[in-house]
Amino acid sequence: MDIGSGIAIGSAILGAVAVIFKIFPANGSKSLHNQCNQHAAIVAKFDDMSSWLEKIEKKLDRLIDRR
């Protein structure tokens, strides 16, 4: 097998794999609507965590000021 036919066979295999991945995606829940819902949930959790950390910071500041 010379180099040209090896390159052609390798390219054909990679092309076939790409087509198979395009037809059968790894995760079927890649719709934009589902991603937006997940993004909104992550943002809400982040905001909750930020407010919780702010409360802890205020409590620590009060504790430090008492000393």
Domain extent listing, the chain: 1-28, 31-67
CA distance 24 to 16: 12
CA distance 12 to 2: 16
pLDDT tens, position by position, for the chain (67 residues)? 688 888 899 999 999 998 888 887 766 555 556 667 778 888 889 989 999 999 999 999 998 888 7
CA distance 22 to 67: 64
Q: Which of 43, 63, 44 is nearest to 55 (CA)?
A: 63
User: What confidence score (pLDDT) does residue 37 get?
Assistant: 74
